Amino acid sequence: MAVTLSSPLTKTLKIALIGNPNVGKTTIFNQLTGLNQKIGNYPGVTVDKKKGVMTYQGNSYEIIDLPGTYSLYPNSEDEVIVHRVLNQFSELEKPDFVLMVIDSVQLSRGLFLATQLIDLGLNLAIVLNMSDLAEKSHLEIKTFELFKKIGVPILRTDARHQKGIDQIRELIHQQNFSNPGPFIEAKEFLDTNELVDVREFFDLDNDYRAYQLLRFGLKDKGLAEEKIAWISKKLESVKTDLEAAQLEETKIRYRKISSVIQEVLVKKETVEPEESKLDKVLLHPFWGYLIFGGILLMIFQAIFAWASVPMDLIDGFFAELSSWLIETLPQGPIADLLAEGVIPGIGGVVIFIPQIALLFGFLAILEDTGYMSRVVFLMDRWMRPFGLHGKSIVPLVSGVACAIPGVMAARNIGNWKEKMITIMVTPLMSCSARLPVYIILIGLVVPNDHILGFINLQALALLGLYLLGVLGVLATAYGLKTILKTDEKSFLMVELPTYRTPRWKDVLLTMYNKSLTFVTAAGKVILAISIILWILGSYGPPTTMESIRADRDAKIAVAENPEQVEEIEREASSALLENSFIGIMGRAIEPVIRPLGYDWKIGIALIASFAAREVFVSTMATIYSIGGDPEDDATIRETLDSQINPVTGNKVFNKATAFSLMVFYVFAMQCMSTLAVVYRETKGWKWPIIQTVYMTTLAYLAAFITYQIFS
């Protein structure tokens, strides 16, 4: 990493990067700062604060990447942040200069925001990006004319092809930003006498800023309480209709911009844009959905195929590390805690990285090519009846691989209610961690037969479990839609950008940043819970535990061969688990889970797998002291199949119990990593707790019904 500290004599200059969505702002940010980026938080909102450091000719500059927006009007959380930073409500976040990125093909829309920034009195420079696209569309922008009309420095770049980036660096270095004075005067659209005391109270020298503060100040929870109170009071006495003023401002601004554009933009010829042909297929009412389905299938295949290799390596590495620690460290509780609690806990965090990185890599490609907003267009209609948004399709689909990236992807949904519903239901999609549990249980009770000659019954059962998950998503989303309340209006209004080849560097950076965010934000919680679970699973009332160990050692002393020793050790570890605190808890919850068809041994596995579903399989292996390779499904299956209930004399894993368990795992939360991510995304424990309670309740009821049907 480069040195990020500026010399103590000079203050590091802060430059805010702003622009409409899809203008290549992030590419410029990445190229200016490289890997020298930091993701932080803005107080009161879930929007990430993206900062980076640019070093140029020995100087450092702080670059703030603001969320994309069409105007200063704060409609979503993202835009509240833009509004806050640019209105300079808080000294800490105050930028010295603003670099405005405009898509050359979308000049008028870009100038709308740019002229608002000018009216705020900010020192500004404009980057006309995507000059290649403008050429393709046969547009010519007379840059010098535009400069004369607007009055701020203008650069032309093609960031995707790394053209013009050095000029941006030079411009920042020269501090070549300026403000020519208002583009339109506030008095053109409202009575500025109303603003006099606002300017006085907030000590402002600018009418437009005073108007912005009065009109939108209440939307920002970052403002000090007494200031909010003052604005509320002032709003009661304001005679001007501020909403009408905003409309008037918009009209006047666009009128003036179009007169500017007439003089600076030369349209050589009108050509039908290329994407029309592609869109005819990709947005087709039939082919469009089919292709989307095909792309999803390909992505999942790739994730399963590519993620399993690094995941096995990570798994193996941490297992090796644990056994190495056991051998190297002196025996004792510390060595045990490290080898069996901390190391597997860290491993449990790291193991998710391949899936998260791959999924976000694919999502970044879909986003970058412009295809993702087409998917939103196709799916919106089918999501809305359930209180979801077209954008909810991304988290839900990701959930089939892993709920963690799914929940993380939900932040793109602007509407609070739709975002919350999406986060709450995404973990109900059957993720890849449920698969081992499903497969073992299906293998136990569903015959490997075919019906109609070609449909495999086991495959059918598996499909049924996935569909049950989807059904759970839709039903729960519908329920939440009627419960959650919001004043925010849901809207779509999304641009379907020109198709482009993905920028691979940006894709890699997204993969890196998302993985890092997961490890740093969720890692601590996951580690803490795994250590607690390990302690509960390895300690119990000392006298019982000691006598089991003494008994084991005595037996081993008289054992005749290594096989016998192994057998004794297996039985002892099974007995130790049964008598540990988790074992005691498993017994304690037996009355509660009996109606679901479970005994206390399954209860232990349920509690132990609260951290992660896949633990169910290994815990069952320990409880039933299964020898051989615990990863081998066949051995586990055989042992489980031979378990007889001592009271009834029937098999423990009959059809009813096995199906009840499968259904339980379809709906139960049983994944602390997801919980940790929901905690991060919702900024508190309220929603993760609600989520765990409702999912567990749902799982219990559904498992109960299943057991009653099959028994």
Partner 1 sequence: MTADQLSILDTATIEKLQESPLKVNLMELGFLPGKKITLKHIAPANGPMAFRLDETLLALRKEEAAVIQVKLIQ
Q: Which is nearer to partner 1, 94 or 138 (CB)?
A: 138
| Residue 419 assigned as binding residue | no
Cα 25 from Cα 455, distance rounded (Å): 51
Q: Which is nearer to partner 1, 213 or 424 (CB)?
A: 213
| Residue 682 assigned as binding residue | no
Q: How far is the CB of 68 from partner 1 (least distance, A)?
A: 13
Q: How far from chain centre, in Å, is Cα 435?
A: 22
Q: How far is the CB of 586 from partner 1 (least distance, A)?
A: 49
Q: Which is nearer to partner 1, 118 or 526 (CB)?
A: 118
Cα 83 from Cα 78, distance rounded (Å): 9
Q: How far from chain centre, in Å, is Cα 342?
A: 26
Cα 49 from Cα 41, distance rounded (Å): 5
Q: Are 230 and 203 in contact (CB under 8 A)?
A: no
Q: How far is the CB of 369 from partner 1 (least distance, A)?
A: 14
| Residue 26 assigned as binding residue | yes
| Residue 22 assigned as binding residue | yes
| Residue 67 assigned as binding residue | yes
Q: Which is nearer to partner 1, 139 or 470 (CB)?
A: 139
Angle of helix 457-483 versus helix 434-445 axis, rounded to 10: 130
Closest CA to 624 of 608, 643, 650: 643
Q: Where are the alpha helices (DSSP H) in 241-286?
A: 242-264, 275-282
Q: How far is the CB of 594 from partner 1 (least distance, A)?
A: 47
Q: How far is the CB of 477 from partner 1 (least distance, A)?
A: 18
| Residue 193 assigned as binding residue | no
Q: Which is nearer to partner 1, 289 or 512 (CB)?
A: 289
| Residue 47 assigned as binding residue | yes
Neighbours of 690 (CB within 10 A): 14
Q: Where are the alpha helices (DSSP H) in 329-427?
A: 333-336, 343-350, 353-369, 371-383, 393-398, 403-409, 416-425
Host H or E run for residue 39: strand 37-41
User: Which two tokens mark 477?
Assistant: 């989303």
| Residue 66 assigned as binding residue | yes
Q: How far is the CB of 228 from partner 1 (least distance, A)?
A: 22
Please give the residue ranges that form the binding site for partner 1 (CB under 8 A).
Answer: 70-71, 73, 75, 105-106, 108-109, 112, 137, 139, 246-247, 250-251, 254, 273, 275-276, 279, 283, 285, 373, 376-378, 380-382, 390, 489, 491-497
User: Which two tokens mark 615?
Assistant: 């633990």
Cα 124 from Cα 429, distance rounded (Å): 47
C-alpha pair distances (Å), 21 with each of 45, 77, 113, 251, 454 = 20, 15, 12, 21, 50
User: Which two tokens mark 556?
Assistant: 């081993």
Whether the CA torsion 203, 206, 207, 213 is positive or negative: it is: negative
Q: How far is the CB of 71 from partner 1 (least distance, A)?
A: 4
| Residue 627 assigned as binding residue | no
| Residue 34 assigned as binding residue | yes
| Residue 45 assigned as binding residue | yes
Q: Which is nearer to partner 1, 370 or 586 (CB)?
A: 370
Closest CA to 393 of 474, 463, 499: 474
Cα 559 from Cα 552, distance rounded (Å): 10
| Residue 647 assigned as binding residue | no
Host H or E run for residue 139: strand 139-141
| Residue 345 assigned as binding residue | no
Q: How far is the CB of 508 from partner 1 (least distance, A)?
A: 28
Q: How far from chain centre, in Å, is Cα 19?
A: 23
Q: Which is nearer to partner 1, 105 or 607 (CB)?
A: 105
Q: Which is nearer to partner 1, 194 or 380 (CB)?
A: 380
Q: How far is the CB of 203 from partner 1 (least distance, A)?
A: 29
Cα 560 from Cα 582, distance rounded (Å): 33
Q: Which is nearer to partner 1, 75 or 657 (CB)?
A: 75
C-alpha torsion angle, residues 587, 591, 596, 601 (rounded to 10): 10
Q: Are 367 and 378 in contact (CB under 8 A)?
A: no
Q: Which is nearer to partner 1, 246 or 619 (CB)?
A: 246
Residue type, 466: Y
Binding site as annotated, residues for GTP: 19-26, 44-48, 65-68, 129-132
Residue stretches of the annotated binding site for Mg(2+): 30, 33-34
Residue ranges for the known binding site are 19-26, 30, 33-34, 44-48, 65-68, 129-132
